[in-house]
A and B are shown apart, each in its own frame.
With several copies, the nearest count.
Chain A
Amino acid sequence: MNGPHDLGGQMGFGPVAPEKDEPYFHAEWEKRALGITLSCGAFGAWSIDESRHARENIPPADYLTASYYEIWTRALEVLLERHGFATRTEIDSGHKQTVPATPKRILAADMVPGVLARGGPCDRPVDTEPLFQPGDRVRTRNFNPTTHTRLPRYARSKTGVVEAVQGSYVFPDDNAHGRGENPQWVYTVVFDGGEIWGEGADPTLTVSIDAWESYLERV
């Protein structure tokens, strides 16, 4: 979706404000929000793609003012409701009223090191050979789905060069919506700044994205 998250090339946000000696957390609740989000991710009830899409669906003005831990928390609430783990009333009140769905896994303290060390690899084998090879010229497709995609708006309908075949990975556009993992080859595609931004682009700039095979057409 062309949501508030698709920020590449948008303007008006002012200067970047790096914070000197930034702490890991700016408030206690941020620590808890991190831990709760990861703990609930361990339920196995939703994919990272579904959770990204839940974040993208936060109303734009809220998305643009929220800190990232707030974005996580708002999206988590939606996921907990959607998958039957907590009702809106429970979340608002902080008290149990219903019996939750059964998660595949509940993260106990002693499982944390192993779970963090394993992470969630999303490379998957595919039966096909890659359609493209390094050096191939490709054009990104033009589409504007209301659903999840990882092809940013600024990089649609643009011509670039395949730099590397990066392996085959779960396809987020399908997986975010429960349509299966449907893995595809992923390519690093490099664009000249001028191809993307046109006149006035920094002549020394190249930008690359990692693009699933179905985002690309041969030129």
Chain B
Amino acid sequence: MSEDHHHDHQHHHDNRYSDMQARVRALETVLTEKGLIDPGAIDAIVETYETKIGPRNGAHVVAKAWSDPDFAEWLKRDATAAIASLGYAGRQGEHMRAVFNTPDTHNLVVCTLCSCYPWSVLGLPPVWYKAPAYRSRAVIDPRGVLAEFGLTLPETRKIRVWDSTAELRYLVIPERPEGTDGMSEEALAKLVSRDSMIGTAIAGMQP
């Protein structure tokens, strides 16, 4: 019915994008035909983030900070260098800051404007980190957001939200859980979840 067309157009405004699989395949095909991209490079990028760069990197940083006061001090002073000393550097981690949770203050990281995230230590961001619900609310209602992750902080705990508006990337250093004295770095690293390094969890919390 032609009089409906106006509204159908508004509603189904961009069907071209409904099949992303086909769309991205077409893009890869034409760019490869043009000699602009190397599908092997794509494979290598994907493999890197599937197997080499992920939250284990960050957990190693945190566990070392818990175990080695000199390293923790270095991390506070120059996170980029301290983290690079463990072999973690590069894309979306060029300029790192480590922010330490304390009994007084809980840190939470967000990027309200896009999805800035410390790839070099945490890998690729989860979907929720990039989605409107988290980006809109983390800065205005962090306790409400944390509750949705199952984390309820004491009412008096200060909450510091870091909105990553520039090229600095933030790694939260969670508090070391109680009862972990004498544990090895390797064992400690297992207590450090990805979310605890974003601030939506604490270390040792059941995921």
Residues of chain A whose beta carbon lies under 8 Å from any beta carbon of chain B: 5-11, 13-20, 22, 24-29, 31-36, 38-40, 43, 52, 55, 59-62, 64-70, 73-74, 76-77, 80, 85-86, 90-96, 100, 103, 106-109, 111-113, 115-123, 144, 150-152, 154-155, 166-167, 169-170, 186, 188, 190, 196-197, 201-202, 204-212
Contacts and interface: CB of A to CB of B under 8 A. Distances in A.
Given A18-B128, A112-B45, A73 B24 contact: yes
Contacts of A86: 30-31, 34
B44 A112 contact: yes
B184 interface: no
Contacts of A38: 45, 91
A25 to B, nearest CB: 8
A84 B105 CA distance: 46
Nearest to B23: A73
Interface of B: 1, 3-4, 6-7, 10-11, 13-14, 16-17, 20-21, 23-31, 33-38, 40-46, 48-50, 53-54, 89-95, 97, 112-115, 120, 123-128, 130-137, 139-143, 145, 148-149, 155-168, 195, 200, 207
A8 B33 contact: no
30 contacts: A11-B136, A13-B136, A15-B148, A16-B148, A17-B128, A19-B127, A27-B3, A34-B46, A34-B49, A36-B31, A68-B131, A86-B34, A91-B30, A96-B34, A100-B34, A106-B35, A108-B41, A121-B94, A144-B140, A151-B165, A169-B95, A188-B168, A190-B160, A202-B142, A204-B156, A204-B158, A204-B159, A205-B142, A205-B158, A208-B163
A204 B97 CA distance: 22
Contact of A116 (B91, B136, B160): B91
B33 A16 contact: no
A92 B26 contact: yes
Contact of A8 (B49, B127, B136, B143): B136
